[in-house]
Structure 1
Amino acid sequence: MSDVVGELARVTGAFDQPTLTLLYKGHARVVIAIFRNAFTRDHRTIPAARLHAQVDTYLDQLRIAGFTDLPAGSGRDLCLRWMRGQWLVRSVEDDGTEVYTLTSHAQDALNLVTSLTRERASLSEHRIATIINAVRRFNTEVNPDRGARVDILNSEIARLTRERDRLLEGGDLPQVSADYMLEGYGELLQLVAALPSDFARVEEAFTALRAQILSSFRSEDRHAGDVIDDYLRRTDSLMTATAEGRAFEGAFTLLRDDELLLQLREDLSALLSHPMAEDILNDTDRRDLRGTVGLIRRGIDAVLAQRNRVTATLREYIQTHNTVRDRELDSTLRQLDAELVRWMASAGPRTSVPLPLLPARVDVHHLRERFHNPDDEAGPPPLRDVTRQRPDGLSLEDLLAQGGPSLDQLRAAVHQAVASDEPLTSLGRLFDTLDAPLRRPVEIFGLLHLTTNMDGFVRDEDHREVYRALRPDGSRRDLAVPVIEPVSHGPDSPPNTANDRPGRPTRSELA
């Protein structure tokens, strides 16, 4: 009796997979077209709001083009429906943005459709040569007979040596046909196209493992020490707990070799620069092959990020898990259940208990914001004894030399210069004739302040004159100041000093 019953069960399980349910869906053509147009190798994740708008736009364009057999609903409703079909998954990025990503089942369906759209021969020289080389290499790596493995290596070395010597002696390069190149490029594109779904399958395995561990933590009533031990044990076996994780671990060990990736990049560049590649490959195929190394790196980074997210989630759960609080809640619920059983034993069928849904509000007339602090009433700390750190004694002349301008002496000098028989040409010339104690840099501001409040002086902003100041330590400092000249008065009209009052000069006056 044939095993047709078992085969039917296995086929039924295969048809129940989300990949085939997507392909046999009523609107499968439309869904596949939307997925292929929205998700590309460079855009594996799309923000939720943007994908909703894109789906609406795609459906509108199809209606305008005359297609009537379209799925009903808005873009958001369709995306949620596709999530329930396990073709889309929605996650939250680190910045809080919700994004959609194709599941491995949807990517397998897209790869199948893509492979059917490419022209390829069912049987060719390249296909047979690829099988022979793969079997030979596999046998070389796993053959348990040491002698057989050495014989295989010797024969391969001899073959490669003969080929190298023939080329060095000027032998002709073997010509390949266009069909052979077409088959080789097709198989290479098919292998590269399967990489995103392989990486996505590993990510989904880690996500399922995280959900499984969290479910077991929440459902089991165990001590914190047991939970931590189980967490550490499962963390150590995250990469080996599933078949996908073990496969990725082996691939990761191979692909983190930078020299191997560099060799892959160089080989792809050589294939893309082949004379026949221009007639065989289109722009999309060239872009896919050229971005193979980047695709591998992004896939590895995505899987490692998902693994780190699993570890971070479990660690956060362990740190925030409060066993005492859970036990108190469980005890409270048990007490409520006991009281309910006791009440039901004596209550009638229509007896009700007034139970408020929310607790009553507490009226607080005044809530203290600050409480008594004994430190506020403590006395100040004792002063520190600095008698030994006292600076050297300063005389009155030293203190005055470090102070502000000497307004009284400057005012007397200005009045004396204005009232003298010799004409006063400018304020800078007057400053040069003063004594050394009155020629400090700060005295310049005093002169500007005094002459600003006098009516007998005018400022010339277009010209500058240099004030040669002397510091108390004997050093010089030259300052360029706008020219201030006295206004000529009659013999009986002294300068008006009614506005000569102390004050601080403005910023524009000191410019």
Structure 2
Amino acid sequence: MSEIAGELARVKGAFAQPTLTLLHQRQAPVVITIFRAAFGRHNRPIPTARLHTQVEEHLAAIRLAGEQDVPVGTGSQICQRWMRGQWLVRSLDDSGREVYALTSHAQQALELVKNLARDRATLSEHRIATILGTVRRFNSEANPDRSARVSILNEEIARLQLERDRLVEGADMVGATEDYMLEGFTELLSLISALPSDFARVEERFATIRGEILAAFRAEDRPAGEVIDDYLARADALMTATHEGRAFEGAFMLLRDDALVTQLREDLTALLEHPLADRIISDADRAEVRGTVRLVRDGLDRVLAQRSRVTATLKEYIVSHDAARDRELEQTLRQVESELMTWMATTGPRAAHDVPLLPARAAVEHLRERFHDPADDLLPERIGQADPDDAPPLALADLMAQGGPKLSSLRRRLDEALVSLTPVSSLGELFDELEPSLRRPVEIFGLLHLAADREWRADDATEPYVAVRADGTRRTFAVPRTPLPDPDLREKREKREKKDTRR
């Protein structure tokens, strides 16, 4: 193959990529516009039903604007075509919902359109300085000659030291020009815009590996251990042997270093607060620069979530795979094959036999849930005779102090209070006049119980009950006030009831 033929083959391969097929079609401006409006710059997953509705609404608005060449069909049909074009991918999120997300090819197309729509200079001092600095730093880190590396570092240290001394001595600071700042922000935005597609490529690689693992498990043409070993080898190669994997590892190491993350935030803030920044970049670009760290975190989270799905697939297969059940199924199939061969030996080639799709259900009236266990008929072990001396000493007064209310004593004291020459007006006053042994907290319930038996009503107001515990401590309770009936009124009522009975 000649050189020009090989170059043509490579160009055709590039044009066959989904990125260029998206940009090469007639409806590319409409599709790119819908992608940018629906997914934004962060490519957040969108539920399937919501994206279908958004596509229909956006297409209706584009038609009203006068555009004629737009996709036709419902939102679901259009999204299906975009999935076949490898511009959309449908998956399940953490909550089990179906969501759409842009593929790395679609994000790369959006990035190209965004870069072409952004004003940028063809040649500038900033770009040349960036190239020189990148080459110098690259050489200082990759040069195999030790003395050459030391010389480069010494020159850089001397240059920085000279600049530092000049600034400390009060020399004039050389300010950046507007063209320099514009070119710097343009290159920075270009680098930031490439991050989502880079993370999407790693995420798609893991999704592809997951699909291949599931297919290998279902085929059962290889042992499960071999499939798992293959996954581990491919995952390690993805992180070390591909550009996307190495970029992912670098971003992961960056976010693990709090000092680097803090330095990145401070540098971005300083650039955005530059006096010339307001005239150079728009509010959208400013928000994009400010959200760089969050953009990297979101990309890492999606890649880690996709890798977790692959790990979960392996774990589910390992846990749920039952070798004994597989052997039973294999034996059953062999028995069926044996019976089929026996039947074919005694019948003609056109013989037919009706075989039910599912076996008949067994009619069993009752299945025993518990069977005889000889251990249930054993007598329990004999209880040994306890020694009374081992029991802890406990006085009768201690037992009574821990018991319930002394209803008999409370009833007697309540009757005495009703016929006393100086009767009390409520249960709370009666409780305060009792001796400490009858003023335990539990005795309050005893008095209320006796009052309920006699159908005495309580007021809305409360009164204090100062109780005395067995250890001598006091505690005050707020209890609804229960007034005691007047004894004179009670005698008159009893006489009236006796008179009514005689009549």
| TM-score, normalization by structure 2 | 0.82
Query: Which residue is equivalent to 1:368?
Result: 368
Describe the shift of the 1:140–1:394 C-alpha distance in structure 2 as closer, same or farther (beyond 3 A). closer
> What are the within-5 Å matches in structure 2 for residues 245-260 of structure 1?
245-253=245-253, 256-260=256-260
Describe the shift of the 1:97–1:399 C-alpha distance in structure 2 as closer, same or farther (beyond 3 A). same
Query: Which residue is equivalent to 1:484?
Result: 483
Query: Which residue is equivalent to 2:123?
Result: 123
Query: Which residue identity does 1:484 align to in structure 2?
Result: P
State the distance in 2 between where 1:117 and 1:51 align.
26
Query: Which residue identity does 1:272 align to in structure 2?
Result: L
1:92-121 per-position Cα deviation (integer Å, ceiling 9, x unaligned): 222212222211101000001101111112
Query: Which residue identity does 1:487 align to in structure 2?
Result: D
State the distance in 2 between where 1:110 and 1:234 align.
30
Query: Which residue is equivalent to 2:27?
Result: 27
Cα offset, 1:278, TM superposition: 0.4
Describe the shift of the 1:410–1:262 C-alpha distance in structure 2 as closer, same or farther (beyond 3 A). closer
Q: Which has the higher helix share?
A: 2
Describe the shift of the 1:378–1:130 C-alpha distance in structure 2 as closer, same or farther (beyond 3 A). same
Describe the shift of the 1:429–1:316 C-alpha distance in structure 2 as closer, same or farther (beyond 3 A). closer
State the distance in 2 between where 1:197 and 1:460 align.
76
State the distance in 2 between where 1:467 and 1:375 align.
58
Describe the shift of the 1:76–1:390 C-alpha distance in structure 2 as closer, same or farther (beyond 3 A). same
Describe the shift of the 1:378–1:326 C-alpha distance in structure 2 as closer, same or farther (beyond 3 A). closer
CA contact (8 A) 2:254 2:261 kept: no
Query: Which residue is equivalent to 2:501?
Result: none
State the distance in 2 between where 1:42 and 1:138 align.
31
State the distance in 1 between where 2:192 and 2:44 align.
15
Query: Which residue is equivalent to 2:14?
Result: 14
Q: Give the aligned CA root-mean-square deviation in angstroms.
A: 3.8
- The answer as to 2:206 corresponding to 1:206 is yes
State the distance in 2 between where 1:408 and 1:259 align.
78
State the distance in 2 between where 1:146 and 1:162 align.
24
1:204-246 per-position Cα deviation (integer Å, ceiling 9, x unaligned): 2222233334444554644555555555555655523545324
State the distance in 1 between where 2:159 and 2:409 align.
110
Query: Which residue is equivalent to 1:392?
Result: 393
Query: Which residue is equivalent to 2:423?
Result: 424
Describe the shift of the 1:336–1:62 C-alpha distance in structure 2 as closer, same or farther (beyond 3 A). farther
CA contact (8 A) 1:27 1:69 kept: yes
Describe the shift of the 1:496–1:404 C-alpha distance in structure 2 as closer, same or farther (beyond 3 A). farther
Describe the shift of the 1:5–1:324 C-alpha distance in structure 2 as closer, same or farther (beyond 3 A). farther
State the distance in 1 between where 2:73 and 2:450 align.
85
Show structure 1 runs of 5+ residues with no match.
Answer: 499-511
CA contact (8 A) 2:32 2:110 kept: yes
Cα offset, 1:277, TM superposition: 0.8
State the distance in 2 between where 1:497 and 1:370 align.
70
Query: Which residue is equivalent to 2:71?
Result: 71
Cα offset, 1:252, TM superposition: 3.9
Q: Judge which range, 256-265 or 315-324, deviates more.
A: 315-324
State the distance in 1 between where 2:54 and 2:323 align.
47
1:354-398 per-position Cα deviation (integer Å, ceiling 9, x unaligned): 232222222222333343344554444533544344343655x77
Query: Which residue is equivalent to 1:60?
Result: 60
Cα offset, 1:170, TM superposition: 3.3
1:15-70 per-position Cα deviation (integer Å, ceiling 9, x unaligned): 11111111123322221111101112345222222222222222232233343322
Query: Which residue is equivalent to 1:88?
Result: 88
3-state secondary structure, aligned to 1:180: helix
Describe the shift of the 1:412–1:238 C-alpha distance in structure 2 as closer, same or farther (beyond 3 A). same
CA contact (8 A) 1:48 1:100 kept: yes
> What are the within-5 Å matches in structure 2 for residues 299-310 of structure 1?
299-310=299-310
State the distance in 2 between where 1:84 and 1:496 align.
102
- The answer as to 2:278 corresponding to 1:291 is no
State the distance in 2 between where 1:429 and 1:129 align.
97
> What are the within-5 Å matches in structure 2 for residues 257-268 of structure 1?
257-268=257-268
Q: Judge which range, 207-216 or 28-37, deviates more.
A: 207-216
Total equivalences in the alignment? 494
Cα offset, 1:142, TM superposition: 1.8
Q: Judge which range, 283-292 or 263-272, deviates more.
A: 263-272
3-state secondary structure, aligned to 2:90: strand
Describe the shift of the 1:168–1:19 C-alpha distance in structure 2 as closer, same or farther (beyond 3 A). same
3-state secondary structure, aligned to 1:134: helix
3-state secondary structure, aligned to 2:492: coil
CA contact (8 A) 2:43 2:101 kept: no
Describe the shift of the 1:65–1:231 C-alpha distance in structure 2 as closer, same or farther (beyond 3 A). closer
Query: Which residue identity does 2:268 align to in structure 1?
Result: L
CA contact (8 A) 1:458 1:485 kept: no
- The answer as to 2:458 corresponding to 1:493 is no
Describe the shift of the 1:493–1:398 C-alpha distance in structure 2 as closer, same or farther (beyond 3 A). farther
Describe the shift of the 1:398–1:80 C-alpha distance in structure 2 as closer, same or farther (beyond 3 A). same
3-state secondary structure, aligned to 1:73: coil
Show structure 2 runs of 5+ residues with no match.
Answer: 498-503
Q: Alignment identity in percent?
A: 59
Query: Which residue is equivalent to 1:145?
Result: 145
1:165-221 per-position Cα deviation (integer Å, ceiling 9, x unaligned): 333333333343322222221111011100110111112222223333444455464
Describe the shift of the 1:187–1:364 C-alpha distance in structure 2 as closer, same or farther (beyond 3 A). same
- The answer as to 2:95 corresponding to 1:99 is no
Query: Which residue is equivalent to 2:5?
Result: 5
